[in-house]
């Protein structure tokens, strides 16, 4: 591998063979803990020298084994993730840490635990509101998580180790934000497809190795002369997740995707965990309040009984206004994975919010298979024709 393409090529290599590094670490004596969602507090795993590994689906993998455990009219991503697990693709895992980020994920977690035999399995119940009492409850759930991790590792989760892990993960979040700064120029210095590869690589590595990869990639991208070509559309994609390059390439065939506002993009990296006297309090606040996902109910004013629609939209989607301005976005795609009800319910209101900002937008639904790519391409091309 040449120095010229060290970061991007390494990210692509990891993206194409995600489990390789985890298997190497497993052979070296490390314990690997899978997690399906960005809401799982990875800092607690890192602090106990456990390697977090995000379990992802694969649109090229036909779902067969999951049919005996989950209905067809169910979140296709969770069906796909479970299918991969049942086929032994995650046989290197020592355990799973799951969380109630959505009802399909909660139901899948129960099935996953029943159909597999990992030495460790823990489910975190997560509130769906940001009320003060919800924060306290979530903190208690993280304390239960701590206890089971300590029992599994036979180690004490000390404040010092947890704070060090928070520092490392905050550094990773800052580096991802720095990477996204490189999509601001026209043309962007890095493509949405390349960022998908980098972010998915991060979820396959220990945090320190991920930070090294980011540092290499950022340095490389800043000095490259072979970046993406300029296209008339600068798109923001808002979705539950967009972590597959085949899907991203459908959009980037005729547009620059400068912001992937999903769990496969910047969503989990836009902020940082605050350092508090009790680190669990800072973790609970970040994961419950700072990650903006459709699964969380937010009120413009706590305890309000009469809704002001404009203020409600601002409380739920206001963070997008700055992104649209700073990244000079001239089109937005609301991408829905079929049967994802929390995100489906947000679409009409989000459409209104984009309209209020004068940003053209479109809603597209797909089913997380390679068969969905052709109709997805048609819908994307039709939308781009309206804003070109």
100 belongs to a structural domain: yes
Q: Say how many domains are in the chain.
A: 1
What is the pLDDT averaged over residues 338-347? Answer: 93
48 belongs to a structural domain: yes
368 belongs to a structural domain: no
Range of the domain at 79: 22-162
What whole-number percentage of the chain has pLDDT above 70? 99
User: Which residues make beta-bridge pairs with 99?
Assistant: 124
236 belongs to a structural domain: no
Q: How confident is the model at residue 334 (pLDDT cuts 50, 70, 90)?
A: very high
What is the pLDDT at residue 388? 74
Alpha carbons 56 and 46: distance in angstroms, whole number: 19
pLDDT tens, residue by residue, 142-195: 999 999 999 999 999 999 999 999 999 999 999 999 999 999 999 999 999 999
171 belongs to a structural domain: no
What is the pLDDT averaged over residues 230-245? Answer: 96
* CATH at 91: 3.40.50.11890
140 belongs to a structural domain: yes
Rg (CA), the chain: 20
Average pLDDT taken over every residue of the chain: 95
Entry pTM: 0.96
DSSP 168-230: HHHHHHHHHHHHHHTTSSSS-SS-HHHHHHHHHHHTTS-HHHHHHHHHHHHHHHHT-SS-PPP
Q: Are 369 and 273 in contact (CB under 8 A)?
A: no
120 belongs to a structural domain: yes
What whole-number percentage of the chain has pLDDT above 90? 93
Q: How confident is the model at residue 381 (pLDDT cuts 50, 70, 90)?
A: very high
Is 50 exceeded by the pLDDT of residue 2?
no
């Amino acid at each position: 591998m040449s120095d010229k393409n060290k970061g991007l090529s390494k990210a692509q290599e990891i993206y194409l063979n995600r489990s390789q590094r985890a298997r190497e670490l497993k052979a070296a004596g490390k314990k690997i803990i899978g997690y399906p969602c960005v809401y799982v507090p990875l800092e607690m795993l890192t602090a106990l020298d456990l390697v977090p590994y995000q379990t992802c689906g694969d649109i090229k993998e036909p779902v067969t084994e999951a049919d005996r455990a989950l209905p067809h009219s169910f979140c296709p991503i969770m069906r796909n993730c479970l299918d991969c697990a049942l086929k032994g693709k995650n046989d290197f895992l020592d355990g799973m840490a799951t969380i109630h980020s959505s009802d399909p994920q909660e139901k899948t977690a129960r099935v996953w635990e029943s159909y597999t035999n990992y030495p460790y399995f823990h489910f975190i119940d997560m509130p769906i509101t940001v009320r003060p009492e919800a924060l306290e409850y979530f903190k208690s759930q993280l304390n239960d998580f701590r206890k089971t991790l300590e029992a599994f590792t036979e180690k004490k989760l000390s404040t010092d180790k947890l704070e060090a892990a928070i520092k490392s993960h905050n550094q990773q979040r800052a580096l991802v934000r720095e990477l996204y700064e490189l999509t601001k120029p026209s043309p962007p210095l890095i493509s949405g497809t390349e960022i998908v590869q980098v972010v998915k690589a991060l979820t396959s590595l220990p945090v320190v190795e991920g930070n090294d990869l980011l540092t290499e990639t950022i340095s490389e991208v800043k000095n490259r002369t072979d970046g993406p070509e300029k296209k008339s559309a600068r798109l923001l994609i808002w979705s539950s997740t967009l972590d597959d390059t085949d899907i991203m390439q459908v959009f980037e065939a005729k547009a620059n995707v400068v912001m992937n506002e999903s769990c496969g993009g910047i969503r989990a990296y836009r902020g940082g965990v605050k350092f508090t006297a009790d680190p669990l309090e800072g973790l609970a606040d970040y994961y419950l309040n700072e990650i903006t996902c459709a699964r969380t109910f937010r009120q413009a004013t706590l305890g309000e009984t009469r809704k002001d629609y404009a203020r409600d939209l601002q409380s739920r989607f206001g963070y997008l206004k700055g992104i649209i301005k700073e990244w000079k976005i001239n089109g937005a795609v609301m991408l829905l994975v079929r049967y994802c009800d929390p995100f489906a319910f947000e679409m009409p209101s989000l459409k209104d919010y984009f309209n209020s900002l004068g940003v053209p937008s479109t809603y597209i639904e797909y089913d997380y298979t390679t068969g969905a790519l052709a109709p997805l391409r048609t819908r994307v091309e039709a939308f781009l024709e309206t804003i070109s």
